[in-house]
A = this chain, B = another copy of it.
Amino acid sequence: MHNFDFYNRTRIVFGEGTIARLGELAQPLGKKALLVYGKGSIKSNGVYDQVVESLNAAGIEFVEFSGVKPNPTLTHTREGIALAKAEKVDMIIAVGGGSVLDESKAIAAGAVSDADVWDFFLGKAEVDTALPVLTVLTLAATGSEMNGGLVVTNEETHEKLGMIKEPLQPIASILDPSTTYSVNAAYTAYSSVDAICHLLESYLTHSDDFAPLQDRYVESIVKTIIEVTDTILESPDNYQARAIMMWAATMAWNGTAPSGVGPFILPHHFIGHSMSALYDTPHGASLSIMLPAWMTWRAAQDPSKIAQFAKTVFDIDEADPAEAARLGIAEFEGWCRKIGSPTTLSAANIPLEGGPEAIAANAAPLRHMWGLPDYDEALILEILKPAIR
């Protein structure tokens, strides 16, 4: 076990009907909020009305800022920062999925700084402080509701960059599973893959040879996500399954899984982000392409950890590690396809001619920033090979 620091201050308020508590959570933070949301789906599913009612009842004034895109953009983020400054808000309230939460965190950092917000992502400025962020989550996927992480895309440079900063951890997040009933089948699938990927990246790439606690934590949550995703796709209004999924996605990326396992890498997010930046591939879809491809490449070097995954998550009873790994990858890829998340470039409408090269050329320059110095264009193309069909 390696030395580590763990800190997670986010209060989670979980369950049906809890949006009514938003106002009470906002009151200690000030009087005026920037209310950030996306393209308006919260107006059709009743979430917006619940938010407004709670804020009004608590006497919290708010200014609306809508239009956050999936893969939130730098331009829109800058507009939000300008509005937050002009309106002198005390807090940011994010209502939506990971994209809305991520952009809200960037606005929270930018609103109290003279630096351009992109400089935070480039490491040219430090996030020492930020406006407090509250969130009302409507998609169980990214874990952004209980961590200080965020990802924003610079549309001019086609760079999708992320950072994790303590001052950007939400003060509190409201998780009402019934808000996710309206998430369609495709995004339900992408979300499950996203949460699984958060767990598997540390699990498959950490360097600790004795991490039974952390490994079992990951295996338990992955197994549970697979089960409840199947249930949700059969009956999208199943509260229990939606609830377990929502808490599982939060637990998947709140800092617990990698505690003490030492350094690990995020190759799937690294390459997947370039797919999203170039082809607007949904984040989870890019990860279901990456995971089987990367595991296949990795198993050729050392199949042991993937064999453990195959055994514990899919109950594969096969002594030979290479064969166990092969069967486990096939099982996982088959499950992704079954739930409707692509595992090949063509299934995600990424051109087979030129697409892989473009992805590699987009990602490779960022490899040092991601702590992946070996991931040059040639290696990225090699890893992508099983998905080029």
Contacts and interface: CB of A to CB of B under 8 A. Distances in A.
B5 A14 contact: yes
Contacts of A10: 7
Interface in A1-15: 1-15
Interface string A240-252: 1001100110010
Interface stretch (A31-39, A211-219, A318-326, A341-349): A211-219
B247 A1 contact: yes
Contact of A5 (B2, B5, B11, B217): B11
Contacts of A219: 220
A12 B6 contact: yes
Interface in A181-238: 210-213, 216-217, 219-221, 223-224, 227-228
A1 B220 contact: no
A137 to B, nearest CB: 14
Contacts of A227: 212
A223 B216 CA distance: 9
Contacts of A8: 8
A224 B7 CA distance: 23
Contacts of A355: none
Contact of A13 (B5, B212, B244): B5
Of A6, A216, A221, A224, most buried by chain B (CB within 10 Å of CB) is A6
Each complex incorporates copies of this chain amounting to: 2
A244 B213 contact: yes
Interface string A152-171: 00000000000000000000
Contacts of A12: 4-7, 259
Contacts of A11: 5-7
Given A9-B9, A11-B5, A248-B213, A243 B260 contact: yes
A216 B224 contact: yes
Contacts of A260: 14-15, 243, 247
A252 to B, nearest CB: 10
A45 interface: no
Contacts of A9: 9
Given A212-B227, A240-B210, A18 B3 contact: yes
A67 interface: no
A66 B256 CA distance: 34
A1 B17 CA distance: 13
29 contacts: A1-B15, A1-B177, A1-B240, A1-B244, A3-B14, A3-B15, A3-B17, A5-B11, A5-B12, A5-B14, A6-B14, A7-B10, A7-B11, A8-B8, A9-B9, A15-B260, A211-B244, A212-B244, A213-B221, A213-B224, A213-B247, A213-B248, A216-B223, A216-B224, A217-B217, A217-B220, A247-B259, A247-B260, A251-B256
Interface of A: 1-18, 177, 210-213, 216-217, 219-221, 223-224, 227-228, 239-240, 243-244, 247-248, 251, 256, 259-260
Given A1-B247, A3-B16, 12 more contacts: A1-B177, A1-B244, A4-B14, A5-B14, A6-B11, A7-B10, A14-B260, A211-B244, A212-B228, A213-B247, A213-B251, A217-B217
